[in-house]
């Protein structure tokens, strides 16, 4: 079952690195092999803060004119798919023309339509346009770049796994994204994600951060000893809570 709206709102209060810190303590997956983007992304609306939602997926190939004729009803059918899934949703788009930025799947009109269908934003391994208008619509975008036209943009395939920024994302995966990149959460890790993330943030605030912030007037030796002790306390708290060592 999807997480409650309350939980999603609380997850949205934290940046994506904080969510990652919690996730790595609860997952049984290899933390280098799943989840976050391997290639650089650009957040074109960083002032909007993080976005959280469930993935709806689509592929397009704007350089290929044949899709326009072969899939004359594709947009309508694709929108039915998007509308059939509970929100909040993040549209994850694989551009089959990668690495070229031939055309944009997103602009002012498409962003407003998807916003009306319960989507909060997109992760597109391709281009967007109409950036100011997308912001005005309240539709956040992480993308690879910008371009001026839409070319032959039409949905080619939707509701299947997509590969974006070096990672495979399945439809329905919970995604947390901001200016740092994105994290796609394995389904089995959703339930404990908020609790773990909040705990790890508090653990930092109770140990290492205050130690570093109160270093004024102390000798280098004193600072090093206190940081080492704080790191040990941080690790002990993680060990007690999750049975793991933590990053410190």
Q: Does domain 5-191 have CATH number 3.50.30.40?
A: yes
Confidence (pLDDT) at 230: 96
CA distances from 23 to 70, 118, 171, 185, 242 (A): 43, 26, 19, 8, 11
**Calpha distance 174→185 (Å, rounded):** 5
Q: Give me the residue label for tokens 């993308």.
A: 143
Show the DSSP H helices in the chain as ranges. Answer: 5-11, 16-26, 66-70, 74-83, 108-116, 131-137, 190-206, 208-213, 220-242
- What pLDDT is stored for residue 248 in this prediction? 67
- Which residues of the chain carry a pLDDT beneath 70? 1, 248
On whether the CB atoms of residues 25 and 246 are closer than 8 A, the answer is yes
Which pLDDT value is given to residue 1?
57
Residues 7 and 174: beta-carbon distance below 8 Å = no
What confidence score (pLDDT) does residue 137 get? Answer: 97
In terms of C-beta density within 10 A (0-12 exposed, 13-18 middle, 19 or more buried), how is residue 20 classed? buried
């Amino acid at each position: 079952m999807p997480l409650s709206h309350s939980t999603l709102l609380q997850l949205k209060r934290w940046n994506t690195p904080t969510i990652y810190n919690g996730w790595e303590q609860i997952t049984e997956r290899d933390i280098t092999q799943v989840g976050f983007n391997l290639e650089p992304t650009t957040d074109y609306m960083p002032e909007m803060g993080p976005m959280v939602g469930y993935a709806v997926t689509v592929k397009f190939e704007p350089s290929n004119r044949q899709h326009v004729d072969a899939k004359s009803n594709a947009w309508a059918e694709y929108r039915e798919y998007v509308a059939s899934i509970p929100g909040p949703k993040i549209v994850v788009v694989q551009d089959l023309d990668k690495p070229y930025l031939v055309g944009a799947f997103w602009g002012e009109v498409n962003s407003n339509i998807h916003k009306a269908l319960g989507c909060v934003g997109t992760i597109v391994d391709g281009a967007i346009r109409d950036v100011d208008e997308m912001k005005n619509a309240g539709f956040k975008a992480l993308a690879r770049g910008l371009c001026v036209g839409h070319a032959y943009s039409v949905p080619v395939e939707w509701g299947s796994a997509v590969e974006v920024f070096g990672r495979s994302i399945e439809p329905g995966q919970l995604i947390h994204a901001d200016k740092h990149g994105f994290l796609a959460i394995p389904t089995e890790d959703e339930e404990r994600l908020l609790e773990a993330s909040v705990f790890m943030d508090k653990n930092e605030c109770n140990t290492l951060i205050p130690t570093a912030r109160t270093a004024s007037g102390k000798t280098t030796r004193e600072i090093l000893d206190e940081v080492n002790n704080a790191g040990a306390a941080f690790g002990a708290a993680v060990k007690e809570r999750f049975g793991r060592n933590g990053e410190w």
